[in-house]
């Protein structure tokens, strides 16, 4: 096992959104992953293990496994390309990573010095705001509140 700390969405250390990335030789017990995520205590710890056609990727918070995490996926792709896979090649297939996750197949594509992620699009449907949500956000009224499989979306009238 190798463990990396990555500052996603950042151009220099100690900025951005931190994620831990744990490279595994093979899949391990979920309880062990959860215990490591508790010890690391970042918002997400990504666990990635190789498969024949890509990688199995799971994300854990200190409290639970989650179905989707953007910044930890970005961090995982970065670690794989920087520390595991060969230098950029002319073979287009080597520039794409496939991740099997609880939210389905996700892909990361390397383009020059950028990483592009392809995540599932999930429609939000209108809902009543959960009790306390608007207070937590510091707003009196929302223009629209919706919920998707993964998130709540709140549209506000002004900044």
The residues assigned a catalytic role are 44
Q: Which two tokens stand for residue 71?
A: 């910044």
Query: If you compute the radius of gyration of the chain from its CA atoms, what whole number of angstroms results?
Result: 18
109 C-beta neighbours (distance < 10 Å), count: 14
Residue 73 has phi, psi (to 5 degrees) of -70, -45
Distance CA 38, CA 64 (A): 9
The residue assigned the tokens 């666990």 is 47
| Beta strand spans in 36-131 (E) | 45-51, 54-60, 65-66, 96-101, 104-111, 114-118, 125-126
103 C-beta neighbours (distance < 10 Å), count: 19
């Amino acid at each position: 096992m190798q463990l990396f700390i990555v500052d996603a969405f950042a151009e220099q250390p100690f900025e951005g959104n931190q994620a831990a990335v744990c490279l595994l030789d093979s899949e391990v017990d979920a309880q062990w992953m959860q215990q490591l995520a508790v010890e690391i205590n970042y918002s997400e710890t990504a666990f990635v293990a190789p498969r024949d056609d890509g990688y199995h990727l799971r994300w854990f918070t200190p409290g639970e496994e989650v179905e989707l995490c953007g910044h930890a996926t970005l961090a995982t792709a970065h670690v794989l390309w920087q520390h595991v896979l060969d230098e950029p090649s002319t073979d287009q297939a080597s520039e794409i990573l496939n991740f099997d996750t609880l939210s389905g197949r996700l892909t990361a594509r390397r383009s020059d010095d950028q990483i592009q992620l392809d995540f599932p699009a999930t429609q939000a449907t209108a809902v009543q705001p959960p009790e306390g949500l608007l207070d937590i956000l510091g707003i009196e009224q929302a223009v629209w509140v919706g919920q998707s499989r993964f998130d709540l979306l709140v549209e506000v009238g002004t900044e």
